[in-house]
Amino acid sequence: MTMNRRKFVKKVGVGAVAVGAAGLALKPKRARAAKAKTYNWKMVTTWPPHFPVLGESADFIAKWVEEMSDGQLKISVYGGGELVPPLGVFDAVSSGTVEMGHGASYYWAGKHAATQFFAAVPFGLNAQGMNAWVMAGGGQELWDELYARFNLKGFSAGNTGVQMGGWFNKKINSIDDLKGLKMRIPGLGGKVLAKAGGNAILVAGGEIYTNLDRGVIDATEWVGPYHDYKMGFYKAAKYYYSPGWHEPGTTLECMVNKQKYDALPKNLQAIIETACARSTIWALSTFEALNEQYLQKLVNEHHVQVLTFPDDVLAKLKVLTNEVLTEMAAKDPFTKKVYDAYMAFKKNHDAWNVISEERYAKLKHL
C-alpha cells in the first residue's frame, strides 16, 4: 500500500508539472491573440451611398473583410460626397486622408494616361479577358508599378461585363451624327468620341440623370439595363443603343493607400485581396443575372427603342480608337509599356476566343 501510494503521488506530481508547463506554453499565444492590433479604416467611393451593385460592392468588401478578419479590420464606407467629392477619391487615398477607395481607374486619366487600361479599352478585352490579364497575364504587376508612383495599391473589385452603347435623344445613322454631340462618357471612349467630333463630358454618376433631363448633355452611357433602369434614364432619352463598343468589360477597382497596406499584417493583406476577388465575381454575376430581366422591363413597360449602331459607324469608331491608343502610347514610355503588354495579351486572347467562345456562341443559332 505504501509503495502504491508513493507511485500515485509521483504520477500526480509529474502530471501537475506537465499541465503547468502546458499552461505556460499557451499563455504567450493567448497574450498575442488578446493583443492583436485592430484597425478602423475608411473607404470613400465615387458612387452614391449603397448604389446598386457598384456601391454595394464596396459595402460587401467592408463586410467580408470584417468577417474574415474576425473584426480585426473594420472599414466604414462613405458614398461619393459624404466625406470627399466623388472624383476626389484618388487624391484622398493617395495622400492617406483615408485608407481605401472604390471606383474605376479611368476616372484618374488626368493623373496618368495608363490608368485607363485597368478599367476599359474601346473594342478591347471583355470581362473574361480583363480578369485573365489582371490576375494571370501580367496586368496586376503593371498596375502595381503604376500605382506605386502615387502611394497606392489597386485591386480588381468588380466588372460590368459588356455595357450598352448609351442613351440618345436622336438616332445615330452615320458617324456625322456624333459631331457636336454632348455626351457623358469617360475614359478612352470619351477621347474617341472627341476624335469623331463630339464633346465628351465627365460627371459623377449621381449627376447624370439631371444633366440629361435638363439638356445639359445630349446623350449618356452608363452600364446596362439593370443599372440604367434604376437610374431612370428611360424618362429622359428616347433611344437605347447597343453594343457598348467603348466599354466591353469594365473593371471596378478598390484602391488602398500603399503605405497603410504595407504596414498591415500579412493575413489582413490577404483578406483584402480575397474580398476584392470575391467582389469581382459577385458584381459581374449580378449584372449577368439581371440585365435581360430589366431590358424586358424597359421595352415592355416603358416602350424603350433598343437600336444597334450601324456597322459603318462602329468600323469608323474602331479606326479612331486605334489612332487614340497609338497617339497616347507615343507620348509616354510607361503608357507605351502598358499598351504593348495589353495589346499583346489581347491578340492571344482573341485568337483563343475565335475557336472557343465565338464558335460556341454560334451554336445558339442552330
In this predicted model, what pLDDT tens digit does every residue of 226-244 receive, in sequence order?
999 999 999 999 999 999 9
Q: What integer pLDDT is reported at residue 116 of this predicted model?
A: 96
Distance CA 151, CA 84 (A): 18
Amino acid symbol at 359: R
Closest CA to 221 of 143, 145, 167, 266: 167
Mean pLDDT by 10 residues, the chain (366 residues): 44 44 46 72 95 96 98 97 95 98 96 97 98 98 98 98 97 97 94 96 84 94 95 95 97 98 98 98 97 97 97 98 98 97 98 94 88
- Give all strands (DSSP E) within the chain, no chain letters: 39-45, 73-78, 100-103, 152-159, 166-168, 182-184, 199-201, 219-220, 239-242, 251-257, 305-308
How confident is the model at residue 364, as a pLDDT?
Answer: 83
- Using DSSP bridges, classify how beta strands 219-220 and 182-184 pair: parallel, antiparallel or unpaired: parallel
CA gap 182, 193 in Å, rounded: 10
Quote the DSSP letter at residue 20.
H
Q: Which domains does the chain have, with CATH numbers?
A: 39-161+249-288 (3.40.190.170), 166-247+301-354 (3.40.190.10)
Using DSSP, state whether 121 is helix, strand or coil: coil
**Rounded Cα–Cα distance for residues 233 and 238 (Å):** 9
Query: What is the predicted pLDDT for the residue at 31?
Result: 45
**Count of alpha carbons within 13 Å of 306, Cβ hemisphere only?**
16
Q: What's residue 33's pLDDT?
A: 47
Residue 111 C-alpha cell reads as 493623373
In this predicted structure, what is the pLDDT of residue 35? 66
Per the listing, cell 498575442 goes with 32
325-347 residues labelled b (16+ CB within 10 A) or e (exposed) = beebbeeeeebeebbebbeebbe
**Scanning the structure block, which residue is given the C-alpha cell 445558339?**
364
The percent of the chain in helix, strand and coil, each rounded to the nearest 5, is 60, 15, 25
